[in-house]
């Protein structure tokens, strides 16, 4: 008879429970040795955290056709408007 998905799920959960129980027994006896990953996690948790930097997001687009437009002459504005009209009609 084939195992159902719940049977496999229960089997995996029971395996983890056995591992956890074994770890708890070893911890009570003081025989647990931390793995290298666990040691590095503990060390990094105890390190002081660096100060957070304020993030600045620039919305400047160097390819924007309106860059420098505050100093344009009337003729330049007329040329820009005409070019935008021609883009809309395409």
Low-confidence ranges of the chain (pLDDT < 50): 1
Q: Tell me the C-alpha distance between 13 and 7, whole Å.
A: 10
pLDDT (0 to 100) of residue 78: 92
pLDDT (0 to 100) of residue 2: 53
């Amino acid at each position: 008879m084939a195992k159902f998905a719940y049977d496999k799920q229960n089997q995996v959960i029971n395996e983890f429970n056995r591992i956890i129980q074994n770890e708890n027994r070893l911890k009570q006896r003081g025989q647990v040795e931390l793995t290298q990953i666990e040691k590095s996690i503990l060390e990094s948790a105890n390190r002081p955290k660096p100060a957070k930097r304020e993030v600045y997001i620039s919305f400047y687009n160097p390819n924007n056709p309106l860059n420098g437009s505050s100093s344009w002459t009337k003729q330049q504005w007329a040329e820009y408007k005409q070019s935008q009209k021609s883009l809309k009609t395409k």
